[in-house]
Structure 1
Amino acid sequence: MTVKTMLLGLTAALIPFSVSHAQDAAASYPDRTITIVVAYPPGGFNDQVARLLAEDLSTRFDETVIVDNRPGGGTVVGTDLVAKAEPDGYTLGISPFAFAVNPGLFADLPYDTETDFAHIAVLGGAFNVLAAHPDFPADTVAELIEHAKQNPGEINYGSAGNGSSNHLSAELFKSLTGTELAHIPYGGSAPARTDLVAGRVDVMFDNLTNVQALIESGKLKALGVTINEESDLMPGVPPVSATVPGYEVTVWWGLVAPAGVPEPIVAKLNNAVNEFLAKEDTIEKFQAQGVLPIGGTVDEAEAYVAEQMKTWIPVAEQTGMKVD
C-alpha cells in the first residue's frame, strides 16, 4: 500500500468522524454562557436588539446569554473580537451597517470581512432621520443645503463613529448636494445625540428608534427621512430624496459568528433567530421603533451582506472617507 493510498484512507475515515463530532456539538449546544458582542456603547438599537435577542435565547436555550459592549475604532474593536474568538458558537456579534462599509473606509483592518465571519441571519432594517436642534436656522432639507452653501464648513454633524450609518448618511448627502459639513465622530450614537439635544451639534442622521421620542417631545426637529417615501412612523416628514434625487440609506443589523463555527450550530442559531423574529412580541417591539424584521436563511444572510458591501464600499472610496 502506498503512502498516498494510506492518506486517502485515513482522510475518508476522518470525514464521518468530523461530521459526527459536529453533530454531537450541535446537539449539546449550548451548555454554557453565550456572549453577544456589540461594537457600540449601550443606548442605540445595536445594543437594544442584542439585549432582546439575548433575553429570548436565554429562555430558549436555558443558558445565560450576555451582551458585551465593546465600542471603539468605528466598530472595528468589537468586530475584531468576534473574528478572533473561538469558533464554537459561544461568541457572537451584532453586525451593524458599518460592517459592510469598513473595508472601504479603513486602509488596513485586523480581520478579513469576507472570510473571517459566518453570517447567521439579518435581524432587521430601518431608516435614518435627518434631525436638527430646534434652534438650528434650517427647517427643511432645502434650507439646510442653502445654509450650508452660504456657510461652508461651519455646520457640523454628529455620528456614532467613522463608517457608521450616521456618518455614511451625511457623507452621501454632502456628495450629492455639494455641501461642506464638519464631521464630529463619537463613540456611539447616544453621546452624539446628547450633544445634538444640547445644541453642541447642529444636525445628525440617526436611527428613527433613537430620535423619535426626542422629536415628538420637541427636543429635536426632523428635516427628512432617508427612505424614498414618507413613513407613517414620521408623518409629515418628507424623504430627503424629494429634495436630493438619488438619496437613500437603509440601516440594517445582523448576527454573526467567527468563521469555522460548525454548520449544525450555525443552523441551530439561525433557526432560533428566525423564531425570535417571528414572535408577535418581537414584531411589535421592532415595528414600534421603525424596524422591519428580516430573518431568512444563512445563504440569504451571506448574500445580503455581500450586496451591502457592493453598495457601500465604493461610496466610502469615492467620497474619500479613509481612516488610518
Structure 2
Amino acid sequence: MTRSRSHPRSHPRPAGTVPRLLALPAALGIALLVLPLVALFVRADWATVPAAITSPEARQALGLSLRTGLAATAVCLVLGVPLALVIARARPRVAAVVRALVTVPLVLPPMVGGVALLYLLGRTGLVGRYLDLAFGVRIPFTTTAVVLAQAFVALPFLVIAVEGALRTAGTRYETVAATLGASRGLTFRRITLPLVLPGLVAGTVLCFARALGEFGATALFAGNAPGVTRTMPLAIYTAFNGAGVSQDSAVALSLLLVVVAVVILVLVRGWRPDRERGSGSGGTAGGTAGGTAGVAA
C-alpha cells in the first residue's frame, strides 16, 4: 500500500498585499522624502537653535509668512471654489481647457510665475501701468505682491482637490433639491458644500502649505525687504547666503518651518468630518439627505 505524500497546507495570500518586487522602490521613495529632513536635524547646532528661531528676524519672517499665507488661502477659497464648480459642471471640452489653464502654474518654475506677474502688474506691465496712472497703485515689492504670488502658485492645489470632490459627489442630491424648488444658491450652501467638505479642507491645507513655502515667484515679484516681503523661505535663503548671519541660522529657520508645516498637518489630520456626521460615507450621505429634506421644508 502506497502512502500518499502529505503536503503542507498552502495558505492563501491575503488580498491587497504588495508584491515583494515593489518593496525596494517603495523604501527608496520613503528614503528620498525622509533622509533630507534627517540630515537637516543632524546638521543643526542645537545649542544655537533656540536663539535663532526666537530672534526678531525669525519671528518677523514667520509672522509675515503666516499672515500672507492665510490671506493667499482666503483669496484662493473665494476664487478657487467657484472655479472648481465651473470645471466640474462644465461640458467635457470646456472643462478640459479650463483645467489645463488652471494646472499651468503646477508645471511652471515659480521664477517664471514671478516674471509673469511682474510683466502683468509692474509699473510698465499690462495692467500695472493703468493702475499706476489712474490710481497711483504700485503692487510689486509690497506685501500685497507676496499674497498675489502665493495665491498664483497655490490656487491649482485647491481647485484640483475641490473639483475631484465635486465629481465624486455627483449631482444626484442637487437634482433632488432642484426638483423640490430649491434655488441654486441654497442648493450650493445646503447640499454641495457639505458633500465636498472633506475635499475642501484637504485642498485648503495644501493651498496654505504651498503658500507658506513659496519662494521663487515671491522673490522676483515682491523682493526681499525685511518686515515687508521677506517671508520664511526668503529669510532662510538670506541666512544661508551669509547676509550677516551664519548658515546655522538658516538650518534653524528651516527646522522651524518644518515644525510649523508638521503641526498644521497633524491638526488637520486630527479633524475628521465623519466624526461629526457619523462614520464613513453613510454619515455624509445621511447628513446630505437631511439637508435635502431641510431644503424641501
Instruction: Tell me the TM-score normalised to structure 2 length.
Output: 0.24
- Higher fraction of helix: 2
- Higher fraction of strand: 1
Work out which of the two has the higher radius of gyration on C-alpha atoms and give 1 or 2: 2
Instruction: Tell me the TM-score normalised to structure 1 length.
Output: 0.23
